[in-house]
Homo-oligomer: A and B are copies of this chain.
């Protein structure tokens, strides 16, 4: 549940722009990876301090500073002073509970969105916040922890002939966004497989584990939807944006990301529908079984209760019970019992319970 709501960055009522890390508190050094490239040149290194990146700010090459960790408030503040980042942006970066959004500040655009990952064992979707600051000659990306999410993008930068090397910061931002959206599909695929497995379970042997798993997946889909829903607006704002920083000639690619986002959301909705439908099936199956159990109980009980009564009658110790003296009394009782039992069976047959 804490995933659904995190306190916003500042202590309640604090002035906006107060930097307080929200979410999982981490310690340890923050990893800063820098890639500086243009069509002909490529430099990749790890920085000890953010200040090492400052000289590259105004060079015409694309400078990508990837910061894994947002708990070093000091680092973020120094960076913001140098790159001229607005106080509200800083607040958003360290507030991991933020709703995804896109903001256009004249000198840079700011994007915040969620990376999702799925743990099949616990059926748990984890959300990590990604912030992108896209300036004229630099892209700064923030992740909550060290991750390998963007490794494919790095690989593509290394290919000298790739499109990434030819194009500017906007295209790099697109590539990072695209990598995140691609990953949503991977998560959905894993969940799709789990759903398929659960459907088999319902038919074969529905237990309370199945029930809990369906319920959990439903919750995860609510969570997934909440995280990804704003992405649509973000990408659509990017496409419509008049900022030179992101949109220049990338519309076709962004439209592609938009399509994928819509497809992700469509699939999430379908999964929710399928899960609801499965819950109905589960409940119906349980009802069916209960019905069957009840029928067996009823059949056994209604056959034996009357004949046991008959036996009880002739177990009484009255002095004067003429039947007890009859020669064929015992046999006659068996006859009576047989008649009762057969009548009951006939009744159940007619009711189609047998």
B302 touches A302 (CB 8 A): no
Min distance, Cβ A212 to any Cβ of chain B, angstroms: 7
Interface size on A, residues (CB 8 A): 125
Contact digits for A109-120, partner B, Cβ 8 Å, 1 yes 0 no? 000000000000
Q: How far is the CA of A291 from the CA of B88 in the complex (A)?
A: 55
B309 touches A307 (CB 8 A): yes
B291 touches A294 (CB 8 A): no
Tell me if A48 counts as interface (CB < 8 A to partner B): no
- Collect the chain B residues with CB atoms within 8 Å of residue A52's CB: none
Tell me if A249 counts as interface (CB < 8 A to partner B): no
Tell me if A205 counts as interface (CB < 8 A to partner B): yes
Given contacts A12-B186, A288-B286, contact A320 B316 (CB under 8 A): no
A281 touches B212 (CB 8 A): yes
Contact digits for A204-223, partner B, Cβ 8 Å, 1 yes 0 no? 01001001100100110011
Tell me if A27 counts as interface (CB < 8 A to partner B): no
Min distance, Cβ A336 to any Cβ of chain B, angstroms: 12
- Collect the chain B residues with CB atoms within 8 Å of residue A121's CB: none
Q: How far is the CA of A255 from the CA of B237 in the complex (A)?
A: 15
Min distance, Cβ A350 to any Cβ of chain B, angstroms: 12
Contact digits for A290-308, partner B, Cβ 8 Å, 1 yes 0 no? 1111111110111011111
Contact digits for A168-185, partner B, Cβ 8 Å, 1 yes 0 no? 000000010011001101
14 other A-B residue contacts (CB within 8 Å) besides A13-B152, A211-B285: A2-B196, A13-B155, A13-B179, A15-B163, A99-B263, A219-B274, A222-B273, A292-B351, A300-B306, A305-B305, A311-B316, A317-B321, A318-B330, A320-B328
* Interface pairs (23), CB distance under 8 Å: A7-B186, A11-B152, A13-B155, A13-B156, A13-B182, A15-B164, A16-B256, A88-B256, A98-B259, A222-B277, A223-B270, A226-B267, A226-B270, A286-B287, A289-B291, A294-B298, A304-B306, A312-B312, A314-B316, A318-B323, A318-B330, A318-B333, A319-B327
